[in-house]
């Protein structure tokens, strides 16, 4: 067990002070590659503090194993993916949570509405653990306009006139020491704008001679993928499957590209001609996600391929 996981499991949540921060996000005006986190803290009652502490303690005790984060790695209810602190933008969030001034205190409900995620900062004896999770959908104004808040009292359901905000009975991310623990991978990636591993993986793919040599030009592919998380993940799946390294697969692809209705052209050097319009079909082909039905030769794009 890592030192940070041991510290996380032994942390005394019952006695810790709890500070709740609500964050909205954007893009840094000076550096478009960086996220902007705008955080404000809100006064909380003792029952809510106890509830957050109970949730954190329960969730952490259920974690029995950790796995280093990778693009295609998945975790289950009993595991967490670990990311080194310095590889993420979480430091921007932690720094914001250290400035608990009156100026940053929430006094108007508008600062809660449309919150993207919240952070429960648990602090005791100079040590702090941060639990981070996305807000439920009803925090967003567009959702609230379509809902009637109600509460059950005196054996009847009545309209709740005051603003209500639900909190999850779980956390997506914990930060302890120098480690980020991702319990819910997709939410963690979204909150932390975490793409570094994806980008590094794509760089490796573009340095793989077997991949690069397939094409007349890889620049359109680089533009197509860019920093888009979905395309970066698909590029990682292409690398993992490795069909591009299999000469028989590529020869079969070229021989059947018209039958598969793929927008793929081959030049005089037997290389795939890459244009902006062709990139989507090239990815479908290398993932082997363009299939032909036995019925009338119908052609389909599929999400997954599973051997039977």
pLDDT in tens, 112-149: 999 999 999 999 999 999 999 999 988 887 677 777 77
Q: What is the DSSP letter of 274?
A: P
Q: How far apart are the C-alpha atoms of 123 and 145, rounded to whole Å? A: 36
Strand 65-68 relative to strand 79-84, pairing = parallel
Strand 156-159 relative to strand 173-176, pairing = unpaired
* 141 burial via Cβ count (<10 Å: 0-12, 13-18, 19+): exposed
Q: How far apart are the C-alpha atoms of 34 and 30, rounded to whole Å? A: 9
* Structural contact between residues 204 and 239, judged by C-beta atoms closer than 8 angstroms: yes
CA torsion angle 126 107 117 3 (round to 10): 0
Distance (Å) of CA 195 to CA 87, 103, 199, 206, 238? 10, 32, 6, 17, 17
- Non-local (6+) Cβ contacts of 279 within 8 A are 220, 221, 224
Cα 98 from chain centre = 24
Q: How far apart are the C-alpha atoms of 287 and 58, rounded to whole Å? A: 40
Q: Per-residue pLDDT tens, the chain, 308 aa: give them.
A: 577 889 999 999 999 999 999 999 987 777 666 688 999 999 999 999 999 999 999 999 999 899 998 877 888 888 999 998 888 889 889 999 988 899 999 999 899 999 999 999 999 999 999 999 999 988 887 677 777 777 777 777 887 777 788 899 999 999 999 899 999 998 998 898 776 667 888 898 999 999 999 999 999 999 999 888 788 888 988 988 899 999 999 999 999 999 999 999 999 999 999 999 999 999 999 999 988 888 888 888 887 776 66
Signed CA dihedral, 92, 95, 99, 100: sign only: positive
Instruction: Using alpha carbons only, give the angle 53, 54, 58 rounded to the nearest 5 degrees.
Output: 120
Cα 229 from chain centre = 9
* Structural contact between residues 121 and 97, judged by C-beta atoms closer than 8 angstroms: yes
* Structural contact between residues 34 and 27, judged by C-beta atoms closer than 8 angstroms: yes
HSE-up (13 A, CA, CB side) for residue 239: 21
Q: How far apart are the C-alpha atoms of 249 and 53, rounded to whole Å? A: 54
């Amino acid at each position: 067990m890592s030192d940070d996981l041991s510290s996380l499991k032994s942390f005394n949540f019952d006695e810790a002070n709890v500070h709740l921060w609500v964050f909205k996000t954007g893009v840094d005006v000076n550096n478009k590659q960086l996220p902007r986190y705008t955080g404000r803290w809100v006064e909380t009652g003792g029952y809510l503090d106890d509830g957050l502490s109970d949730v954190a303690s329960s969730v952490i005790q259920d974690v029995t194993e950790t796995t280093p984060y990778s693009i295609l790695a998945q975790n289950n209810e009993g595991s967490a993916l670990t990311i080194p602190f310095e590889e993420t933008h979480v430091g921007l969030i932690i720094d914001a949570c250290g400035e608990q001034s009156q100026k940053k205190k929430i006094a108007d409900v508008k600062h809660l509405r449309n919150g993207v995620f919240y952070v429960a900062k648990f602090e005791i004896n100079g040590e702090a653990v941060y639990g981070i999770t996305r807000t439920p959908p009803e925090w967003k104004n567009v959702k609230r306009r379509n809902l009637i808040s109600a509460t059950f009292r005196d054996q009847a359901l009545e309209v709740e006139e005051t603003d209500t905000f639900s909190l999850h009975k779980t956390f997506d991310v914990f930060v302890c020491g120098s480690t980020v623990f991702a319990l819910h991978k997709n939410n963690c990636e979204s909150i932390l704008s975490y793409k570094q591993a994806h980008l590094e993986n794509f760089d490796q793919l573009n340095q793989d001679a077997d991949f690069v040599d397939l094409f007349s030009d890889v620049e359109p592919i680089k533009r197509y993928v860019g920093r888009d998380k979905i395309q970066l993940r698909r590029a990682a799946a292409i690398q993992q499957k490795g069909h591009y390294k299999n000469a028989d697969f590529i020869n079969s692809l070229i021989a059947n590209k018209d039958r598969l209705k793929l927008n793929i052209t081959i030049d005089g050097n037997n290389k795939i001609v890459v244009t902006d319009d062709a990139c989507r079909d090239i990815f479908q082909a290398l993932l082997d996600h363009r299939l032909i039905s036995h019925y009338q030769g119908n052609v389909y794009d599929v999400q997954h391929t599973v051997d039977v």
